[in-house]
Structure 1
Amino acid sequence: MSNLSYWEKRKAWEMFRYMEQAEKAAEEISRLYLKSSRHISLELDEIFERYQKKHKLSEKEAYRLLNSMKDKTSLDELKAALRSGGSDKTKAEILAELESPAYQARLERLQQLQNQLDLTMQNVYQQEKVKSTSHYIDLANEAYYRSIFGIQQRTGLNFGFNLISPAAVERVVNSKWSGANYSARIWSNTKALAQDLKEELLLSLITGRTDRETADIIANKFAAGASQARRLVRTESCNLANQMEMASYEECGIEYYIYVATLDLRTSSICRSLDGKRFKVSEQQPGINCPPMHPWCRSTTICDIGDEELSQMKRRARDPVSGKTNTVPTNMTYEEWYGKNVKGKPEAEFNEKMIRNRSADRRQFERYKEILGEEAPKTLDSFQKVKYADTDEYGILKAQYKGMSYYSKAIESEPEITNQVKIIAEAAGMDSLGLEYRIKTKESFLEKIRKNYDPGGNEYEIKDIIRYTLGADPERLTEKTLLAIEKFENQGYNTVRIKNTWHPDSSYNGINTFIKSPGGQTFEMQYHTRESFDLKNGELHKLYERQRKILDDESEEYLELDDQMIELSSRLTFPKNVERVKNK
């Protein structure tokens, strides 16, 4: 193996590169703060004076006043505090000014600006989180693979290794290594900044700061917020890089690592004291014996490869077919190594896609789980595997998710439609049959989408989510069916489809229609005799359930079941003049 000093310097250089990448991410985030600062500053001239006002409180007095308030951002509490000022002439003058009619527009604008600050910082939080997450995911991948590359180049052995998994990256990225994960810290920082800014607005109001002075203070506060964001990105990046390197050590079977500090005038005393010390990989703890030891930390580690680890790597590098040992040339670049060992491999590309989209996929998974319940994949990993590896299953899942909006809309429309069906049934002299089954269950609805799935179709637009049956005796079914259709039409319920299957050779006898309500909801309406209704829901249904599970509709079993259904249906008493109900 090569000289250890060289590899220590190389690891320090890699950490320097990671910090450069962190700086680029931090710079993007800083621009968010700068943009927000400028936006808020533009609003100030509508609230604060252009010139210093006399008879205002000093900064010290103003802070004392605000500290006496529970909510240091409340105008109402501020006025109450001023009222309790007793004979203090300055406070009385400020209160009189704040309560004067001429000042109300300014105070309303101030209140709006305070509310706007909350929204602005929520937006900063969301964008900062997105940019940070993207940076961390890229860094996690690079740190893991670059570390393995370094170990292979250092030993000269191209041994096999496991690709990084999405779950492993997520676990490290979201770890609470210093009490809270990065997302919580971003939220805490932006929330605190919003509070500070709102307090400063009230201070400006009672101290007589000009719009320019207030703008400068606001800008400084935003700059401090950006600095905190930069510190967070740098420190989290140091932790992430080191933790992914620890994962690579474990993957390579390495038991010990050596602490490597970046030694210069900025190196902290704690990092200097740890430099060169040896620790067990299994006992590593950020902030204790593994970087980062403090904010802005630049330290890293290098694995300590012993004879036993080297022997294991040699065995893993041996080609089982040729018996030769696979090697990594000393002049091979990381890009070349990555292209050979990671890039292009289906599993690697699949994992990388899962890692990169983990955050967005988690939100999508939560939405699907909320809407689909038990029909949704059980875990985020299984959801991502469906999304990226099973085109048909993901298509079904999307259709089911989209279909639930149709299902919800139908359920919402059901009471009004049911009421109208009852009115029409009474007017036409028909019986409502099986009204308790008028709503298709969610499970049945989703199963039907699955069964009917066609990548190019709208199988989620199932028209029988709501279904009804009106019945009459065979002598009058035709007459009453036509009357019911007419009465539905008169109420704006248009029968858009009619299928009359009453025929001696039919396996199912009935009149099936689809009706569109005035509100645009399509539902199914069947017209039956009591006898045909009972058969449909009894013996015929059992045979149908058996038949629909048979994929080959020309098989002997399928045709035999068809014959049995035709035989049962032929025994029914046919309605008088049923042919008058024409298909549509």
Structure 2
Amino acid sequence: MTRLEREILNIKRDTEKIAEKDIKRLAREYKKSLADIRAIVLQVYTKYSDDDGELNISNAQLINEMNRLDKVLEREARRIGLLEVGLVTALLTTTYKHSYYKTAYTLDKGIELGVNYRVLRPEFIERAINVPIEGYMYSDRIWLNKEVMMQRLRRDLINHMQSGTSVEKLSRKLSKDLGSDYYNSYRLIRNETARVQSEAQEQIYQDSDSVQSLLFDATLDDRTTELCQGLHGTVYRKDEPHPKIPDDTHIQCRSAYIPIVEGWNPTKKRDNLSKQNIDYPSNFEDWKRSNSIE
């Protein structure tokens, strides 16, 4: 593995680590929602169980209790949905900026010509992250997932309480339902992060005169799909059609494009503001500060 390849892949790993913090926070919120819903369900079972511990609830009583549970489901779906939209929006913004500037920095320090990067404006970032996939923005998919989650929970609550299912069994079912939606959220975050990270690097590659070709690099282990294994090592001219990651590969794709740059090695930096070659800053943060990049 060349140094350039290693540094480009490290940028991808950095964004994955950033995403992991938000994923863990979301997991905690799902656990809180499950605990709140279980508490209300336990109250229902305590209220309507007979001496043998069997649930004995009439249709009228069930309708009344479901009205109360519906409010809890709606509250939790909205609470998690708002949190998830906020987390993902902030995460994608950070991912795009980090990937764009860090890739520019990595290329810029190894070639004399420099990279024609731009100082990212908020509206440019917003356009980059708000890309519809099959007609839906990421925020649309989040709310659709929450609607499906709420319908599934409501259906299972009614069916299990009508049939007199034990509170323990119903509790496990609720955990499975919420776990399914959490996995959808996990997958969405991973996929959107990969997409935005790839888009940011693609923009830098297109803006750099020194990058002429792109090498498809797959993570070759027992989790790599046959598609990515087959694409691994394929070289594309940057101006010819090439598979977008992950749109044209698959959900949660770990592959990346490595720029092919002749004679890449650390050297002076081209300051795109002064148009002068300067001694390269010792680290990425210094480079950002020298160009007034937030």
How far does residue 282 in structure 1 lie from its aligned partner after superposition? 4.3
Secondary structure of the corresponding residue to residue 47 of structure 1 = helix
How far does residue 173 in structure 1 lie from its aligned partner after superposition? 1.0
Residue 317 of structure 1 corresponds to 270
Structure 1, unaligned stretches of length 5 or more?
55-93, 350-584
After superposition, what is the alpha-carbon deviation per residue over 1:346-376, rounded to whole angstroms, capped at 9, x for unaligned?
xx45xxxxxxxxxxxxxxxxxxxxxxxxxxx
Asked if the contact 1:114–1:198 (Cα under 8 Å) also holds between the matched residues in 2, the reply is yes
Corresponding position: 1:29 with 2:22: no
C-alpha separation in 2, matches of 1:172 and 1:318: 25
Asked if the contact 1:257–1:278 (Cα under 8 Å) also holds between the matched residues in 2, the reply is yes
Distance 1:204 1:281, change over 3 A: same
After superposition, what is the alpha-carbon deviation per residue over 1:308-327, rounded to whole angstroms, capped at 9, x for unaligned?
xx9xxx9x938999x96335
Corresponding position: 1:43 with 2:40: yes
After superposition, what is the alpha-carbon deviation per residue over 1:185-241, rounded to whole angstroms, capped at 9, x for unaligned?
111111111110001011112221122221221122112211211111111100100
Specify which of 296, 302, 307 is matched with residue 252 of structure 2.
296
Specify which of 172, 195, 205 is matched with residue 249 of structure 1.
205
AA matched with 1:194: M
Specify which of 86, 91, 99 is matched with residue 143 of structure 1.
99
Asked if the contact 2:104–2:115 (Cα under 8 Å) also holds between the matched residues in 1, the reply is no
AA matched with 2:218: A
Asked if the contact 1:158–1:328 (Cα under 8 Å) also holds between the matched residues in 2, the reply is no
Specify which of 24, 49, 58 is matched with residue 98 of structure 1.
58
The percent of aligned pairs where both chains have the same amino acid is 20
Residue 152 of structure 1 corresponds to 108
After superposition, what is the alpha-carbon deviation per residue over 1:13-52, rounded to whole angstroms, capped at 9, x for unaligned?
2212211111111111122211111111110023235666
Residue 87 of structure 2 corresponds to 131
Asked if the contact 2:218–2:229 (Cα under 8 Å) also holds between the matched residues in 1, the reply is yes
Specify which of 282, 286, 290 is matched with residue 336 of structure 1.
286
How far does residue 53 in structure 1 lie from its aligned partner after superposition? 3.7
Distance 1:111 1:319, change over 3 A: closer
Secondary structure of the corresponding residue to residue 155 of structure 1 = coil
After superposition, what is the alpha-carbon deviation per residue over 1:118-175, rounded to whole angstroms, capped at 9, x for unaligned?
2321221111101111111111110110010111123255555321122221112110
Corresponding position: 1:181 with 2:131: no
Residue 229 of structure 2 corresponds to 272
Residue 192 of structure 1 corresponds to 148
Secondary structure of the corresponding residue to residue 279 of structure 1 = strand
Alignment of 1:385-464 (within 5 A): none
Secondary structure of the corresponding residue to residue 325 of structure 1 = strand
Task: Tell me the TM-score normalised to structure 2 length.
Answer: 0.85
After superposition, what is the alpha-carbon deviation per residue over 1:561-584, rounded to whole angstroms, capped at 9, x for unaligned?
xxxxxxxxxxxxxxxxxxxxxxxx
C-alpha separation in 2, matches of 1:256 and 1:189: 39
How far does residue 176 in structure 1 lie from its aligned partner after superposition? 1.6
Asked if the contact 2:112–2:270 (Cα under 8 Å) also holds between the matched residues in 1, the reply is no
After superposition, what is the alpha-carbon deviation per residue over 1:424-481, rounded to whole angstroms, capped at 9, x for unaligned?
xxxxxxxxxxxxxxxxxxxxxxxxxxxxxxxxxxxxxxxxxxxxxxxxxxxxxxxxxx
Secondary structure of the corresponding residue to residue 317 of structure 1 = strand
AA matched with 2:164: G
C-alpha separation in 2, matches of 1:168 and 1:320: 19
Residue range with higher mean Cα deviation, 198-207 or 160-169: 160-169
After superposition, what is the alpha-carbon deviation per residue over 1:325-344, rounded to whole angstroms, capped at 9, x for unaligned?
33537xx3222222223xxx
AA matched with 2:270: A
Aligned length: 285
Structure 2, unaligned stretches of length 5 or more?
none
AA matched with 2:189: V
Secondary structure of the corresponding residue to residue 236 of structure 2 = strand
Asked if the contact 2:81–2:143 (Cα under 8 Å) also holds between the matched residues in 1, the reply is yes
How far does residue 284 in structure 1 lie from its aligned partner after superposition? 5.1
Residue 484 of structure 1 corresponds to none
Specify which of 117, 139, 152 is matched with residue 161 of structure 1.
117
C-alpha separation in 1, matches of 2:121 and 2:145: 30
Secondary structure of the corresponding residue to residue 196 of structure 2 = helix
Residue 211 of structure 1 corresponds to 167
C-alpha separation in 2, matches of 1:181 and 1:255: 32
Residue range with higher mean Cα deviation, 292-301 or 120-129: 292-301
Corresponding position: 1:170 with 2:126: yes
C-alpha separation in 1, matches of 2:129 and 2:157: 36
C-alpha separation in 1, matches of 2:272 and 2:24: 46
Higher normalized contact order (CA 8 Å, seq sep 6+, divided by chain length)? 2
How far does residue 255 in structure 1 lie from its aligned partner after superposition? 4.2
AA matched with 2:206: E
Secondary structure of the corresponding residue to residue 164 of structure 1 = coil
Residue 107 of structure 1 corresponds to 63
C-alpha separation in 2, matches of 1:320 and 1:53: 75
C-alpha separation in 1, matches of 2:239 and 2:114: 24
Secondary structure of the corresponding residue to residue 264 of structure 1 = coil
Distance 1:289 1:273, change over 3 A: farther
Segments ≥4 residues shifted beyond 6 Å: 318-321
After superposition, what is the alpha-carbon deviation per residue over 1:546-571, rounded to whole angstroms, capped at 9, x for unaligned?
xxxxxxxxxxxxxxxxxxxxxxxxxx
C-alpha separation in 1, matches of 2:240 and 2:122: 24
Compare CA radii of gyration and give the structure with the larger one.
1
AA matched with 1:149: Y
How far does residue 107 in structure 1 lie from its aligned partner after superposition? 3.1
Distance 1:143 1:47, change over 3 A: same
C-alpha separation in 1, matches of 2:117 and 2:272: 14
Corresponding position: 1:120 with 2:76: yes
Task: Tell me the TM-score normalised to structure 1 length.
Answer: 0.45
Secondary structure of the corresponding residue to residue 42 of structure 1 = helix
C-alpha separation in 2, matches of 1:137 and 1:320: 24
AA matched with 2:156: E
